A and B are shown apart, each in its own frame.
Chain A
Amino acid sequence: GAVVSQHPSRVICKSGTSVKIECRSLDFQATTMFWYRQFPKQSLMLMATSNEGSKATYEQGVEKDKFLINHASLTLSTLTVTSAHPEDSSFYICSASTRRGSSTDTQYFGPGTRLTVL
């Protein structure tokens, strides 16, 4: 149980284009989803917290107009990187929790999406 999927697993795009990443909880309802970014050999950095039906809460330094998050259902959240640039190239990982807004509850992580912007 508690499986989280992400799609696509890998994407390469040209600079200036937008990329959408999907995060789905397959066998449970995810009240809260989290989006992280991980650079090589570095820690996971929380980008935003998304509660179903509410606007996402972004961490300091994360541009909400650049990283659009939608959590319209209890099983799906999407992250759209708008006007992507090479510095946005990274490993994006989502996680899902059954508790609203709380990161202390167990988070189940997706397999990640490797974004490369040329």
Chain B
Amino acid sequence: QKEVEQDPGPLSVPEGAIVSLNCTYSNSAFQYFMWYRQYSRKGPELLMYTYSSGNKEDGRFTAQVDKSSKYISLFIRDSQPSDSATYLCAMSAGKLQFGAGTQVVVTP
């Protein structure tokens, strides 16, 4: 079993809809949780960084962490075609572990 599980998608949504992404994990030692956006053939770009359970909001992005359920989420409001990318969750207890990434397609 992988330490970090993430549905690879693709997830297709119409422009303006809310994109909902999530990851589950098995290692209870993970304390730091991140979401990265990766465009095709480019390196990942950090979107959100959270520590411990709770919500964090930054513009159109909201990250949620539920450590009791070992579940993290990323929500993108008012999605735009430019949000089309692969979104990777990552978490760390000393070494960064990535999910496989979910491909998101926002259609005009």
Residues of A in contact with B (beta carbons under 8 Å apart): 4, 6, 34, 41-46, 91, 93, 95, 102-104, 106-112, 114
B96 and A103 contacting across the interface, CB-CB below 8 Å: yes
B46 and A106 contacting across the interface, CB-CB below 8 Å: yes
Q: A43-B88, A104-B32, A106-B49 are in contact. Are A4 and B43 (CB under 8 A)?
A: yes
Q: Of B43, B100, B101, which is within 8 A of A93 by CB?
A: B43
Number of interface residues of B (CB under 8 A): 22
B41 within 8 A of A: yes
Which of A44, A45, A93, A111 neighbours the largest number of chain B CB atoms within 10 Å of its CB?
Answer: A44
B92 and A44 contacting across the interface, CB-CB below 8 Å: no
Residues of B in contact with A (beta carbons under 8 Å apart): 4, 6, 8, 31-32, 36, 41-46, 49, 88, 92, 94-96, 98-101
Q: Of A102, A103, A104, A110, which is within 8 A of B43 by CB?
A: A110
B42 and A111 contacting across the interface, CB-CB below 8 Å: yes
Query: With a CB–CB cut-off of 8 A, which chain A residues contact B49?
Result: 106
A44 and B98 contacting across the interface, CB-CB below 8 Å: yes
B64 to chain A, nearest CB (A): 20
Query: With a CB–CB cut-off of 8 A, which chain A residues contact B94?
Result: 102-104
Bound CA span A87–B42, Å: 21
A–B Cβ pairs within 8 angstroms, 21 of them = A4-B43, A34-B96, A41-B8, A41-B100, A42-B100, A43-B98, A43-B99, A43-B100, A45-B98, A93-B43, A93-B44, A95-B43, A104-B94, A106-B49, A107-B46, A108-B46, A109-B36, A109-B44, A109-B46, A111-B43, A112-B41
Query: With a CB–CB cut-off of 8 A, which chain A residues contact B96?
Result: 34, 46, 103-104, 107
Q: A46-B95, A107-B96 are in contact. Are A114 and B41 (CB under 8 A)?
A: yes
Which of B4, B44, B45, B95 neighbours the largest number of chain A CB atoms within 10 Å of its CB?
Answer: B44
A33 to chain B, nearest CB (A): 13
Bound CA span A15–B94, Å: 36
Bound CA span A93–B42, Å: 9
Q: Of A4, A103, A108, A110, which is within 8 A of B92 by CB?
A: A103
